A and B are shown apart, each in its own frame.
Chain A
Amino acid sequence: MADAIRIENLQKKFRIGFIPKPREILKGITFSVREGETFGYLGPNGAGKTTTIKCLLGLIHPDAGTIEILGRPHTQPRSREALGFLPENPYFYDYLTAREFLAFTADLFGIGRTEKGERIARLLKLVGLERAADLPLRKYSRGMLQRAGLAQALVNDPRLVVLDEPLGGMDPLGRKEIRDIIVRFKDEGKTVFFTSHILQDIEMICDRVAIIVGGRIVKEGGLRDLVSEKVLFTEVTVSGLPPQTFSGLGECVSAQGDRVLLKLYDEARVDEVVNLIHDRKGRLIALSPRTETLEDIFVDTVTRT
């Protein structure tokens, strides 16, 4: 499978302060995103995620390294013909309506008049802005702006969609809708490259991830390869028995009313605890094994780096 994005040894320094002092933001980033996959780009604040995206889009000139978008060098504007981009906090001309703004965006891609009308109507429906299409963007809520941003990113029917924090500032319902749209991209064969702080979402929709810390990629790979199925611990909620009943079996996390929450790190102890509850006439409320999540890997990687 061909690469939709190929980044090699990307380096960028910024000069900051009154007496300019160079600060290395990207220290030789290398990774690639294959066509058709959904790729999550994670990292703590200030790790270099947005700088990487800005280099990719030609907003920032890298000091060294090469970037290819769908087989073309990123320095050629033609490389962005099949690319759609949603910035982190969408800033648009707020005096335009969503319809006018999408028409303007379509003009930048040279889309013909007839096709433009049809595409705009379809996109407004897709992002759920049909009823607000003729309102100026300054009257939009943050979530609505995010939707308008997503629509403008799709106006050229892109093969590659780059989304910088697409789920930020959305309510749970809006987040689900945007997540569903991203999943639909995958079904349509589009490549999605996106950053997000909401790791559960990344875990739900990404095929591969890369974690960037301090301007370096510290982990990269398929989500299934990174997140193991190993059970970290089991949480047991019991009622009707005092916490002392379980001393030596597991860690008592809380005891409120007659409810006790236990954390068992040893899987072999789970059966023992269940039997004990049964024997002492207690009541088992919940038993949930906790497997490793992307968040665990992320926290572990970031703290170790």
Chain B
Amino acid sequence: MKIRAIAGITFKEAKRDRILYLLFFFAALGIVASRVLAILTVGDRVKIIKDVGLASISLFGVLMAILIGTGLVYKEIDKKTIYTLLAKPLYRAEFILGKFLGLVLTLFVMTGAMALIFLAIVYAHTLKIEGSLLVAIAYIFLELVLITAVAILFSSFSTPILSSLFALAFYLIGHLSWGLELIIKKMRPGAGKALVRGLAMILPDLENFNFKTEVVHGLPIPPGIFLSSFLYGVCYTAFILGLAVLIFRRRDFI
């Protein structure tokens, strides 16, 4: 009940953020503009529409998660609304979870709205709804959930600007860390290789949630990868949230 109340108020607050609508506008513009790009490009028009559309949902979704998520906890501390909240019989973990779920709900609604526009445009070209597109969007959403947890983690001890930079760095590292696997393959056994392997294990691999290429080009997806990606996302999110709670529990609100 308490977590639901905080999630509800967070959703209400996020809904009022103009930046959310600005990003939604650009995402919608990107999805609609994919039609124009398709006309100008040589090749399969539907593939271009799918590619640009999914990329728009992913990019603008991540921006929403970072720009709103990084201010969530900070704003409560800065505006001192947290004094009234934490003076209630509330665990700090409940507060963090409520904030997280409120933003996840906001992103669910926004991703849903972007997906509707995207699927409508694809439907106008193919006259069918492809289930694989929905799967790709679901995994984009799972990535957004993880990025939200990261944004809240940084927001629990840093300013919105720094938190945004950290969260953006996390996102970029997450999409480039697969390169470490290539380095590991080429390295000779030894301490260096063990170090890089350790780094590869700690750093996030957000490519686990990227099924865009496979879905757009109709490539086969190995069985079991959906479940492992899902579990990876859930476990990583839980780990980041746990870390956020640990840091937040130790804080003094002066």
Contact = CB atoms under 8 A, between A and B. Distances in A.
Q: Do A and B originate from a single complex?
A: yes
Interface of A: 14, 54, 57-61, 77-81, 83, 85, 87, 89-93, 95-96, 104-105, 107-110, 149, 152, 162
29 contacts: A54-B252, A58-B86, A59-B86, A60-B252, A60-B254, A77-B88, A77-B89, A77-B90, A79-B89, A80-B87, A80-B88, A80-B89, A83-B87, A85-B84, A87-B83, A89-B80, A90-B84, A91-B79, A92-B81, A92-B84, A93-B9, A93-B13, A104-B5, A104-B8, A107-B2, A107-B8, A108-B88, A109-B88, A110-B1
A167 to B, nearest CB: 18
A95 B1 contact: no
B90 A91 contact: no
Q: Which of A59, A83, A95, A149 has the most CB of B within 10 A?
A: A59
Query: How many of chain B's residues touch chain A, expressed as a range?
Result: 20 to 34
A57 B4 contact: no
Contact of B87 (A14, A85, A95): A85
B81 A93 contact: yes
Given A85-B83, A87-B87, A162-B87, 6 more contacts: A14-B254, A80-B88, A85-B84, A91-B80, A95-B13, A107-B5
Nearest to A54: B253
Nearest to A88: B83
Q: Which of A87, A92, A93, A96 has the most CB of B within 10 A?
A: A93
Interface string B165-190: 00000000000000000000000000
B252 to A, nearest CB: 5
Nearest to B91: A77
A60 B253 contact: yes
B85 interface: yes
A14 B87 CA distance: 21
Contacts of A89: 80
B253 A91 contact: no
Interface string B238-254: 00000000000010111
Interface in B81-105: 81-91
B16 interface: yes
A87 B86 CA distance: 11
A92 B83 CA distance: 9
Contacts of B81: 91-93
B2 A59 contact: no
A107 B4 CA distance: 9
Contacts of A109: 88-89
B80 to A, nearest CB: 4
Nearest to A59: B253
A108 B252 CA distance: 21
Contacts of A93: 9, 13, 81
Contacts of B1: 107, 110
A253 B146 CA distance: 74
Interface in B1-49: 1-2, 4-6, 8-9, 12-13, 16
Nearest to A14: B254
Contacts of B4: 107
Nearest to B88: A108
A61 B80 contact: no
A273 to B, nearest CB: 55
A84 to B, nearest CB: 9
A91 B79 CA distance: 7
Nearest to B85: A108
Contacts of A79: 89
A145 to B, nearest CB: 12
Interface in B70-86: 79-86
Contacts of A96: 9, 12
B250 A61 contact: yes
Given A93-B13, A104-B5, A87 B89 contact: no
Nearest to B250: A61
A51 to B, nearest CB: 8
